[in-house]
Chain A
Amino acid sequence: MDQFINQPVSFAEEERPWRPPSLRKVGMLCLITTETALFSIFVVAYLFYMGKSLNGPYPHEILAFPWSGSIALIGSSFTLHAAEWFLKKGNRAMFHLWWFITIAMGAYFLYFTGHEWYEFIYHHHLTISTNVFGSTFYSLVGLHASHVVVGLILLSIILISSLRGKLHHDHHEHVEMIGWYWHFVDAVWIVVLTVVYILSAHY
């Protein structure tokens, strides 16, 4: 027994390099978790108030499925991916091109939402204070749009710094994290699309 305890212990783990997860990735995952919690409450509020408006306009009267905006935003996840692929290959020109297309698609989505709101406010007279549909619709879609704005700012910072030659090889992870954020914004849009434009469409 004594011998057993006094034997020199070999540490298999000592051989392995000590590499805890990257702090940017963990940080971004935490941010996404907390944003998910925030969005869930607004989604729950929307679902809870579905069909509880006491006066019009009601969702089925004015909501039109946002085809072009959705295609632009969801498509931008793929163009972003293409841009990242070219960055990894070291092809800066193609990276800039696809990154710019991503920004343009995001900007189109924002324009689309703005146009939709304009229609609702000036032609259908639906404001945030009209009824509970207005309150929940503008707060949920507005919260998402504000995240698109932040995403566009982040994407533009990357593009500008890359064009000015300030984006170095060790910034790969920064680019990747902004990509994660953008994918998250897209995923939220799929939820919003389902809840607002499909589930509540006949109320």
Chain B
Amino acid sequence: MAHGSSTTPEDDFVITPTRPGEEKGSWSSVIQDLLFTVDHKKLGLMYIGSGLIFFVIAGLMAAAIRLQLAIPNAHFLEPDVFNRFFTMHGTAMVFLVGMPIIFGMANYLVPLMVGARDMAFPRLNAFGFWMFFFSAWFLYFSYFAGPGLYNAGSAPDVGWFAYSPLTSKAFSRGHSSDYWTLALLASGVGSIATAINIIVTTISLRCKGMTLGRMPLFVWTFLVVAFLVIIAIPPLSACQIMLLLDRYLGAKFFDTQAGGSAVLWQHFFWIFGHPEVYILILPGFAAMNEIVPVFSRKPIFGYPIMVGANVMIAFISLGVWAHHMFTVGMTSLGNSFFAISTMLVAVPTGIKIFNWIGTMYGGKIRFELPMLFCIAFLFQFLIAGLTGVMLSVAPFDWQLSDSYFVVAHFHYVLIGGLLFTIFATIYFWYPKCFGRMLSHKLGMWHFWLFTIGFHVTFFPQHISGFLGMPRRIYTYEAGRGWEIWNMMSSLGVILQAAGILIFVWNLIYSYRKGKIAGDDPWDAWTLEWATTSPPPDYNFEKTPEVRSRRPLWDLKHPDDPDWKYE
């Protein structure tokens, strides 16, 4: 780029030598680089890195909650501190951990997989990241505001769904709800910016030959996720704007004494909140779609059906929101509609699960760590799906709504589903990002400790839910039969925490000491493995050209390429 007289396209991408005062590795240069970068790979890693930091913070809050609930009549957390902890745990896990990590995955991998040099709008991309980053710290700042850290400040204490009228001026004094609203409003703007970027990159920056039918399923799934984001986040922003108008200008949206409706908040919130569940779980499916075929040594089974199932899941997910509201008292017609539409989601999800099993069937399965996490995902997500179908039956939901059964269900979805695939993703693509493998031995410890800890923590909650233990209580009396299950739950946390500790150590240790990975350590087939590890700033020396769904297979097997059969 520095030489104006260049004639060949290759010359355009000569790496400019390091400028003076910018030696590689010095702290100030690294920080400067992170602050000003618009490179999709760095932003992707920044998303994932900050997501992991918030994951640890929100996880510590969960551990505190479990410590409080381990024995009856405990006094470890005050009731209002407990409320702040479970609210911030939920809010952070959804908005500051789940969303940024999936955006990080998309940011890093989508341009590489479609053979592009960067995202479509790199500066908008950086804008999206910094919106998220500042809103996240703004949310955590609430711990220092108001009565300060000891009484947990004025952190939000109204649940991550912020049901009105709990959030109205009359019931939520101080600024806790304002922190919640403003922080999530800002991060919503960033999310929409990033989602638009993902869609445009996927549609407009595909390399030559990559038709929609040849796009990796990972990219397809993220295209669907991004569409869900741009349709589902605005309702949240809208109802947050209404809430702010209520709180600051005295508007009457959710004021039941002036003709407003508290149920409307629930409708608007869940119009966002339900698709959000699929925004979080579809990236899990995306990772499955790439990892399962590579470790089974077979192309994915039923590619077009998998694409169709993604689109169908997204479509149905927009019409099921009120299954969160069976106990609000809708008409029986409404209940029936939302019960049936919810059960319908099981069809495309079942298709996906069968197709992954179909991919593994008859394959030469390699039990590497990414694959282990994927197999665990299959079982856990199956349980989560089954309890989901149970809860979609309205009369059953009336019995178990707001009990620990629901807590168990969505933790099976979000930990057993999303988090396990996030681990799989990190184990699978870490070599690409840093050029070194994660340690297999540490990874095995992480896998077994975390998997066992996860089941020990959350499986008993199905039972305590059946025994009538409600959500969001800060303590309970002895003699109701809940003690043993709560004690088990709390003990499981220790195993999970140990697993996470090993995982974090693995990330740090392998960065310096891991085995050198090479360009394509797993013998995979998508385009990101065609470039070096880590990829250079411009991703590909020559923009690639593809002729099939597995371009690297074609490259490695010129005698028997895929495109002959497609």
Residues of A within 8 A of B (CB): 5, 9, 11, 13, 18, 20-23, 26-27, 30-31, 33-35, 37-38, 40-42, 45, 48-49, 52-54, 128-129, 131-132, 134-136, 139
Contacts and interface: CB of A to CB of B under 8 A. Distances in A.
Interface centre among B121, B227, B234, B249, by most A CB within 10 Å?
A: B234
B5 interface: no
Contact of B204 (A9, A21, A54): A21
Nearest to A34: B230
Nearest to A17: B208
B230 A41 contact: no
B268 interface: yes
Tell me whether chain A's interface is mostly helix, strand or loop, or mixed: helix
A139 B195 CA distance: 26
Interface stretch (B103-111, B254-262, B446-454, B476-484): B254-262
Interface in B218-258: 227, 230-235, 237-239, 241-242, 245-246, 249-253, 258
Contacts of A52: 259
Given A30-B196, A34-B196, A38-B234, A48 B261 contact: yes
Contact of B251 (A18, A54, A129): A129
Contacts of B230: 30, 33-34, 37
Top 3 closest pairs, chain A to chain B, by CB: A129-B250, A41-B238, A38-B234
B259 A128 contact: no
Given A23-B205, A45-B253, A131-B258, A30 B200 contact: yes
A31 B230 CA distance: 8
Contacts of A11: 547
B231 A34 contact: yes
A135 B251 contact: yes
A132 B259 contact: yes
A30 B199 contact: yes
B200 A135 contact: no
A40 B267 CA distance: 13
B120 interface: yes
A128 B251 contact: yes
B395 interface: no
Given A22-B204, A33-B231, A45-B242, A129 B196 contact: no
B433 interface: no
A9 B563 CA distance: 10
A128 B233 contact: no
Interface string B455-466: 000000000000
Contacts of A30: 195-196, 199-200, 230
26 contacts: A5-B564, A20-B203, A20-B205, A22-B204, A23-B203, A26-B200, A27-B120, A27-B200, A30-B199, A33-B227, A34-B196, A34-B230, A37-B230, A37-B235, A38-B234, A41-B239, A45-B268, A48-B264, A52-B259, A128-B250, A129-B250, A131-B258, A132-B259, A132-B260, A139-B242, A139-B251
Interface string B180-211: 00000000000010011001100111101100
